[in-house]
A and B are shown apart, each in its own frame.
Chain A
Amino acid sequence: MLEVTGLAVAYGGIRAVKGITFHVNAGELVALIGANGAGKTSTLKALARQLPAAGSLRYEGRELAELAPHELIRAGIALVPEGRGVFARLTVEENLDMGAYSLSGRAGRQALARGLERAYALMPRLKERRAQLAGTLSGGEQQMLAIARALMGEPRLLLLDEPSMGLAPLMVQKVFEVIREVRAAGVTVLLVEQNARLALQAADRGYVLESGEVTLADDAPRLLADPRVRAAYLGE
């Protein structure tokens, strides 16, 4: 579904991503793990066309560079950015409505109603808070909202940037439950995480990113058992 070849991102002279190659098959949940500054966020931002990048990004057979950034969601790609990025001055429900911005007409209205129902069923807390400004939600609630909002556009490929960051363990569990459900519903997921254990437990396959390069790529269970991963990312 997604085929990335030789992706490179540089900030001025700093080469954050140095020509990485990876792919995500339809229906898969793929984890991209790595330490701080490894280049995970840069990779996702390049996919979301928020950064100039070199290399080939093929999505469903076409180059992402052919699309303007605001057309990605219509092409089926949604990103939950690092640090959530909910619209603090919009209400919870307005945030969700924004998620469905790309859907229009009668079909759009139906999708919106369907999406709201699904979001509220998945996360009842959001329903209680729907008239509240999103900026007043707790960090975990904001993360839930960011994920729910990304799903409103009915994406086929969901990019998640550290959804567990800064959350209490119970909330992390809840977030991963939601990710599993999303995946079970048929959405392909590319998950960026520092919490390698959780990410690899949920994933089919994984890539390890170190200083802008892919150093390991394997099935998730094998990565979990790999001594190098265990030493560097699982604290063993």
Chain B
Amino acid sequence: MDIFIQQIINGLVLGSIYALVALGYTMVYGILGLINFAHGEVVMLGALTAYSTITGLLGLGVPLPLAALAGLAVAALLCMAVGYTVERIAYRPLRGAPRLAPLITAIGVSIVLQNGAMMVWGRNYHAFPNLVPERQYDVFGATITLLQVLTVLLAALTMAGLMLLVLRTKLGRAMRATAENPAIAQLMGVDVNRIVSLTFVLGSALAALAGLMVSANYSIAHYYMGFILGLKAFTAAVLGGIGNLAGAMVGGILLGLIESLGAGYIGDLTGGFFGSNYQDVFAFFVLIAVLVFRPSGLVGEKVAERA
């Protein structure tokens, strides 16, 4: 088995998930200049909601593909509702407040969501059902599962759809205009509050999909999973250049690759001193390195704003 190729494949899968979550961070940051630290918890809610829906439906004898689709739909709807509500009641009243206030609020919101989830789903790990047949394919001496293929494909399709929406539609144009200058967008007739709500709702739908994918790929869901995942996706967004959609995608994939290659080789590199359980450390090395050496991220703004 070729370790290098295998880790590339694993990295791509992980990276596509990070990218989906990172998009949520970056879209909200682009429009409001707010880092929505509660976003990771929305991913967790998506995973647990999908878990309950799918196991519940399977218990009723609903066929697996149908149950999986329903799980995704219910998770997406719930996450969209949560994203919308959080913006309305927690962030909107603080619009125009000093930046620290919404940041602290975001941390408060994540605590509320996490503990709420703990009350509903308990502290236990839940075994996530297999959503697709366990089929494997050989590529250059490594194996890729059907689930991995579907994960990457679905993530890519979703992101392509989002880019089409943002770059090619009237609504997307209004989103970009609002991100650049809300006061002027308003003069053109854009209802800025609607755009902000929409941004949260879209980001939350992506988070729900990502939550389902994480849990499907790692066969597990629990109330605490959103914290580390959110932090990593945030790292990915910063790596790509926060506020930049393409950057979030590039950053997500890159971080996934760095992590899984790092985990694959750290044992050899340190003579077995560190094991692959140090995987999480790489993300935070990356975060610190980016913040120190290139705070604007890899896909920095290239447009000169002339007076």
Interface residues in chain A, defined as those with a beta carbon under 8 Å from any beta carbon in chain B = 48, 50, 68-74, 78-79, 81, 83, 85, 87-90, 94, 97-99, 101-102, 133, 135-139, 142, 149-150, 153, 166
Asked if B306 and A98 sit within 8 Å, CB to CB, the answer is: no
**Can you sample 13 A-B contacts with CB below 8 Å?**
A48-B187, A73-B188, A74-B189, A79-B187, A87-B180, A87-B181, A88-B305, A89-B180, A90-B180, A94-B173, A98-B185, A99-B188, A150-B187
Interface size for B (C-beta < 8 A) is 23
Q: Is B303 an interface residue (CB 8 A)?
A: yes
Interface residues in chain B, defined as those with a beta carbon under 8 Å from any beta carbon in chain A = 170, 173-174, 176-177, 180-181, 183-192, 301, 303-307
Instruction: Give the docked Cα–Cα distance between A160 and B184 (Å).
Output: 14
Asked if A101 and B184 sit within 8 Å, CB to CB, the answer is: no
Known contacts A71-B189, A90-B177, A101-B174; 6 further A-B pairs (Cβ under 8 A): A81-B187, A87-B181, A89-B180, A98-B188, A139-B307, A153-B189
How far is the CB of B95 from the nearest CB of chain A, in Å? 14
How far is the CB of B188 from the nearest CB of chain A, in Å? 5
Instruction: Give the docked Cα–Cα distance between A56 and B153 (Å).
Output: 58
Asked if B306 and A137 sit within 8 Å, CB to CB, the answer is: yes
Find A70's partner among B176, B181, B186 (CB 8 Å cutoff): B186
Instruction: Give the docked Cα–Cα distance between A50 and B306 (Å).
Output: 24
Asked if B184 and A88 sit within 8 Å, CB to CB, the answer is: no
Asked if B184 and A81 sit within 8 Å, CB to CB, the answer is: yes
How far is the CB of B193 from the nearest CB of chain A, in Å? 9
Nearest residue (CB) in A for B194 is: A70
Instruction: Give the docked Cα–Cα distance between A234 and B118 (Å).
Output: 73
How far is the CB of A69 from the nearest CB of chain B, in Å? 5
Residue among B180, B181, B184 with the highest chain A CB neighbour number at 10 A: B184
Residue among B173, B187, B190 with the highest chain A CB neighbour number at 10 A: B187
